[in-house]
Amino acid sequence: MAKEPVYKEVVDEVYRILWPKKLKLFTAGPVACFPEVLETMSFQMLSHRSKEYRELHRDTVERLEDFLEARKGIVMLFPSSGTGIMEASIRNAVTPSGKVLVTIIGAFGKRYREVVESNGRKAIVLEKKPGEPVLPEELDEALKKNPDVEAVTITYNETSTGVLNPLKELAKVAKEHDKMVFVDAVSAMGAADIKFDEWSLDIVFASSQKAFGVPPGLAIGAFSEEVFEKAKKIPNRGWYFDLLLYRKYQEQQWSTPSTPPIPQIAALNAVLRIIERMGGKYKWLKMYQERAEKIRKGVIDLGLELFAKPGYYSPTITVVKTPPGIKGVEVYEEMRKRGFEIAKGYGPVKEYTFRIGHMGYITDEDIKELFDNLREVINELMKKK
């Protein structure tokens, strides 16, 4: 096997397509990766049926079970983005003609509704105005009115509006009504606390490219025993996302039915080891909390307003209202010219917001530079108006 690349220039050619300039990322995902992650991923491949791969798979799953406090629950890895598990939750754990209470506080709650309906199930919707969370008493009321739903879906962190739902309290209400709880934690897992067993969650899923700061292509799911029991009774679960098949492969050989994204799993394993070195889960979550506070303070110091309702601010993304007359996309474009990739507004609030992602590899220096530039950009745009 060649040790040195022969056609070295092709790497630069590809870089010129993807990275015409090196941008600093404050994105909603994919996010900037840790240097350790990038190095871990540049190794030679091996078979996903090898002894070595199985050891990596086992170690990663066990570290995730610790991180999610899922000792009764089972964590599994999927060769897809997080939305794959969104679909799996409906196909495996809701009867074909069954009803689901879908809570919507933004674009990703809407996606869950589409996934429910496109899989032939019925969605009962509890929708809040953009910027607001779902409150426990509202969920309680909706469940009283709809006692026949089988499950409740909750977006833990709504990436389009920058709102963190009160998941623990919402799950408690759902359990009082004896409903299964499916959580889209795609932009929350790794930054907002999840106590899978204690909060009695049934399905929680995320993607590698958000708060864990790993490239895209890997989905992480945690499942309660009840989900597998239910799945046994559901026909036509499909093959690619059949949870019973995944469990069989994991239990028999610490692997997946089809080929997993091995580099991403190795990278996630590296991040879980970084978390351990940093002092464990709660130290790591605190790092995210402090980063989020610093970014919110930066926004306020510029005289701008946060979009989310106070008390429900996201630890992973800050949605900012633009000053009157300025469009979110103008701020985005001007920041790009200065070497920063922030996130455009998304979904219903697209026009008059922009978003600053806090996930992945971001240093204090990066944050300072971001705000120095953002201040100038806002001032320039205001002058033009």
Ligand X SMILES: *Cc1c(COP(=O)(O)O)cnc(C)c1O
The phi and psi torsions of 16 (rounded to 5 degrees) equal -65, -30
3-class secondary structure, 356: strand
Span near ligand X by CB under 6 A; candidates 181-189, 231-239, 300-308, 343-351? 181-189
Helix or strand or coil: residue 374? Answer: helix
Q: Smaller CB distance to ligand X: residue 254 or 354?
A: 354
Q: Give the SS3 label for residue 379.
A: helix
Per rule CB under 6 A, is residue 89 in the interface with ligand X?
A: no
Options 42-50, 75-83, 123-131, 267-275: segment touching ligand X (CB under 6 A):
75-83
Cα–Cα distance, 70 to 250 (Å, whole number): 16
- 108 is a contact residue toward ligand X (CB under 6 A): yes
Using CB under 6 A as the binding rule, whether residue 165 contacts ligand X is answered as no
Q: Using CB under 6 A as the criterion, what x/- string covers residues 198-227 for binding ligand X? A: ---------x--------------------
* Least distance CB 261 / ligand X (angstroms): 12
Smallest separation (angstroms) from ligand X to the CB of 377: 25
CA distance linking residue 111 with residue 383, whole number of Å: 39
- If binding is defined by CB under 6 A, does position 81 make contact with ligand X? yes
153 part of the interface to ligand X, by CB under 6 A = no
Out of 187, 269, 318, 322, name the contact with ligand X by CB under 6 A: 187
**Residue nearer to ligand X on the CB measure, 171 or 326:** 171
Q: Two tokens at 199?
A: 């909060």
Q: How many residues bind ligand X (CB under 6 A)?
A: 12
> Near ligand X by CB under 6 A, which window of 6-14, 81-89, 141-149, 254-262?
81-89
Q: Which of 25, 26, 29, 183 binds ligand X (CB under 6 A)?
A: 29
Provide Rg for the chain, Cα atoms: 21
Of 234, 228, 256, 245, nearest to 91 by C-alpha is: 234
The span from the CA of 273 to the CA of 290, in Å, is 21
Phi and psi at residue 354, in whole multiples of 5°?
A: -135, 165
Residues 6 or more apart in contact with residue 302 via CB below 8 angstroms: 371, 374, 375, 378
Whichever of 334 and 357 has its CB closer to ligand X, that residue is 357
Residue 156 or residue 340: which is nearer to ligand X going by CB?
A: 156
Strand duo 203-207 + 219-223: pairing: antiparallel
Alpha carbons 377 and 110: distance in angstroms, whole number: 33
How far apart are alpha carbons 218 and 130 in whole angstroms?
Answer: 29
CB-based contact 180:202 (threshold 8 Å): yes
Question: Smallest distance from the beta carbon of 108 to ligand X, in angstroms?
Answer: 4
Q: Is there binding between residue 133 and ligand X (CB under 6 A)? A: no
Q: Yes or no: say if 201 and 224 are a contact pair by the CB < 8 Å rule.
A: yes
Output the six-digit token pair for 217: 């292509």
Taking CB under 6 A as the rule, which mask of x and - marks residues 336-365 in contact with ligand X?
------------------------------
Our CB check for ligand X shows the closer of 154 and 370 to be 154
d(C-alpha 260, C-alpha 204), whole Å: 19
Stretch that binds ligand X, among 64-72, 80-88, 115-123, 328-336 (CB under 6 A): 80-88
User: Taking the complex as a whole, how short is the minimal distance between the CB of residue 265 and ligand X, in angstroms?
Assistant: 15
Minimum CB distance to ligand X, residue 104 (Å): 12
Instruction: Say whether residue 159 binds ligand X (CB under 6 A).
Output: yes
End-to-end CA distance of the chain: 61
The answer to whether residue 130 forms part of the interface with ligand X (CB under 6 A) is no
Tell me if 186 contacts ligand X by CB under 6 A: yes
60 or 207, CB closer to ligand X? 207
Cα–Cα distance, 359 to 159 (Å, whole number): 11
Q: Which residues pair with 181 in a beta bridge?
A: 152
Binding site for ligand X (CB under 6 A): 29, 81-83, 108, 155, 157, 159, 184, 186-187, 207
